[in-house]
Amino acid sequence: MTSFISVNDVLQKSSVQPVSSVAKLENVLKERGFASELKSWASLTGAGAAHYAVGVANNPFDTTTQGLTVIEVYCDKTPNSVAVSNWKTPSSNPLRWQYKLSTTHPETLDVIVKARDTTRLEIRVGSCLRALVGGRATGPNNPDETKIKVDTGRVSLGLIFRYRESEQWAVLVAHGFDWDYKVSVKKGVRPVKTHGSSKNFLLACVPADNGKQCQDCLAGECVVKCRMEKFLILAQGSSQIYRTLDDNVFDLAIAKIPASLNSPVEPLDVMDFVQFFQNIGNNSVYDASFLQSAREAMKGFLGVSKRCASHSFLQKIILKQHVPSMIMFKKGFKTGWTWGVLGGASEKQFSIVSPVPEGKMPVISEPGDCGATWFIVDQESKTAVPVGQHCGRSSELLTKGDQDFELAFGQPYYTAFSDHSEVEGLETIGQISGFRSSDVTVRFSDCFTPIVA
């Protein structure tokens, strides 16, 4: 059993010097007032609200996009290809732009647009999150007592931390609803929120305002028809805190794990992935060269590191262009073990690329995987370093020549636990909860096993 570590110590141990090209571009854009220009671009192209981060892009299967320092633009809608001063689209792809620093400066910068309408959210959230407990529950045949279906969120449990030593919280994205829980409720009595667990996954009953599942959730339309207010902090009791950055996306959420949990959550055994990996045959859905790189990465694998991978750490791995050093994996509630290759990293987000052989089904993630921890295999220590929580994937397969790729997204733990972030539209756990980092500790053995000293 490993001891508790201050989150400040974890961050310090995980800190890596920024990539010089990234730091330089961040300063140039700040001095130029790029945020204001971006707002104008978003208005002219119909992209809606937009903010940006500087990152390093990568597709190890495409030599034209390996190790590029880029501007990542996060916006509501796919931009229209219209004329904008200092901006141009060099191809027919509306998600790829170039930005010119000035009319006298010859350099153009690559811009990757990450529009919300092109992202498949791996969550199901809806109006039923407005309340943790429901109101009255009555039925047509028996108005005094009825059995109702209560929405239950299954969370692919990510990193667990302690607040002021005693309170145990989990970092996640949001809940997915797919488990029926029947409760007998007398008229006028509010249903009681209950908790349970199933190995690595936390269950939390979340009734709607009226104690029933809302129609949007019943129809599986929670994401596209969510009625949550914009920019609303939901501090529901002392057990769950969400921050909505637009009308249907939870960029960050934390949930309290109650001390009364009847079935404690088990730490995720990453050696199960090693076993899973050994059982993958050569005729699997995975690309052969990709499979060989991953096998090389897993040789001598020991367990989980007691640090997190910062965005600068990930960017430096990309620049080395050694594919086995980029292997990433997670265990999602829906898909179980899946894996891919580091596809890019910024302070805001990291991405994972997975090639899809012709005629095969995509395998990287499915709805319900939100909140699962992505790991990257550190070749030097032969450990899995926690990177961040899974939050979605591209709604369409990417294509290069005759090869298709899946693209999944996650949010870095390193950023989430930092005191603050300079990136607009990005918040930390401290900012959404009011927790001071000096009061937060982590015991990695609560989350994962085995832990490497």
> CA dist 389 to 150, 159, 284, 386, Å?
26, 8, 26, 9
- HEC readout, 259-295: CCCCCCCCCEECHHHHHHHHCCCCCCCCCHHHHHHHH
- The C-alpha atoms of residue 307 and residue 326 are separated, in whole angstroms, by 17
Token pair belonging to 125? 């959230």
> Which pLDDT tens digit goes with each residue over 324-348?
889 999 998 778 888 888 999 999 9
Give dist(CA 377, CA 274) in Å, integer: 12
Backbone CA torsion sign across 35, 41, 44, 50: negative
pLDDT below 70 — which residues of the chain?
A: 1-2, 60-64, 103-105, 121-157, 174-251, 258-264, 281-287, 357-362, 367-368, 399-403, 425
* CA-to-CA dists, residue 158 to 80, 94, 248, 386, 410, angstroms: 37, 34, 21, 9, 12
Q: Which of 337, 342, 335 is nearest to 379 (CA)?
A: 342
Q: How far apart are CA 431 and CA 169, in angstroms?
A: 15
Give, in order, the Cα–Cα distances in Å from 362 to each of 119, 232, 349.
15, 35, 22
What pLDDT digit, counting tens, does each position of 246-272 carry? 444 456 777 777 666 656 678 899 999
CB 208, CB 130: distance < 8 Å: yes
Domain coordinates in residue numbering, the chain = 5-12+266-449, 16-120, 122-257
pLDDT, position 219: 52
Q: Compute CA distances 17 → 96, 202, 312, 314, 430, whole Å.
A: 29, 36, 7, 11, 23
Strand partners, 377: 384
Q: Name the CA dihedral angle for 286, 292, 295, 299, rounded to a multiple of 10 degrees.
A: -170
pLDDT the model gives residue 184:
31
Residue-level pLDDT at 195: 42
Q: Report DSSP state, residue 326.
A: G
- Would you give the DSSP letter of residue 451? B
- Rounded distance between C-alpha atoms, residue 308 and residue 188, angstroms: 48
Predicted model pTM: 0.81
